[in-house]
Amino acid sequence: MAAPLRSLCSTALKHYCRSFSSTSCTPAGQIWRESFGLPSKGSEYGPLTDLPDWSYADGRPAPPMKGQVRRQQQREAFARRVVALNSEVDAGMQQWQDKKDAEVQAEEHRKYLILKPKGNHKLKKK
């Protein structure tokens, strides 16, 4: 009676213990690539993903693949967004500078409008 129960328990433990793992979920080389400023995955960008896989024998380039066209469109959209945000920052800086100049000019105008002492009062201070 004890032997069949023991074999049943050992069989059950074999099936349930296989799925346990104590390793990290980091893909191989990800930390090393990120520490050197490279993409976390080896296929995000670079010559293996950006250059065509083949060309015609007479030297003509191959037509671009779907992934290459998609990545090019993403890069163009990103560049457009960068230019738009840069122009917004430039406009904001110009607006800030104009406001600062207007404040300085208003302060100078306020000082100009202040009443000034007249007569011998200036001569006595010297």
Domain assignment present for residue 57? The answer is: yes
Backbone φ, ψ for residue 55 (5° rounding)? -150, 165
Q: Is residue 120 part of a domain?
A: no
Closest to 45 measured CA to CA, from 70, 63, 26? 70
Asked if residue 100 is part of any domain, the answer here is yes
* Of 4-8, 35-39, 47-51, 102-106, minimum mean pLDDT range: 4-8
Res. 98: pLDDT tops 80: yes
Q: DSSP label at 61?
A: B
Query: For 49-60, what is each residue's pLDDT tens digit?
Result: 888 888 899 999
Six token digits for residue 121:
């009062």
Is the separation of the CB atoms in 30 and 40 below 8 Å?
yes
pLDDT digits (tens, 9 = 90+) for 32-45: 888 888 877 777 77
At 31, the amino acid letter reads I
The pLDDT of residue 76 is above 60 = yes
Q: Specify whether 73 is located in the same domain as 101.
A: yes
| Stretch 73-95: mean pLDDT | 97
Specify if 85 maps to a domain: yes
Residues paired with 55 in a beta bridge = 61
Q: Are residues 80 and 59 in the same domain?
A: no
Q: What is the overall mean pLDDT for the chain?
A: 82
Q: What is the 3-state secondary structure (H, E, C) of 100-126?
A: HHHHHHHHHHHHHHCCCCCCCHHHHHC
Q: Tell me the per-residue pLDDT of 107-126, one tens digit each, with 9 for 90 and over.
A: 999 999 998 777 776 666 55
Domain count, the chain: 2
Question: What pLDDT was estimated at residue 32?
Answer: 86
Task: Tell me the residue range of the domain where 52 lies.
Answer: 30-63
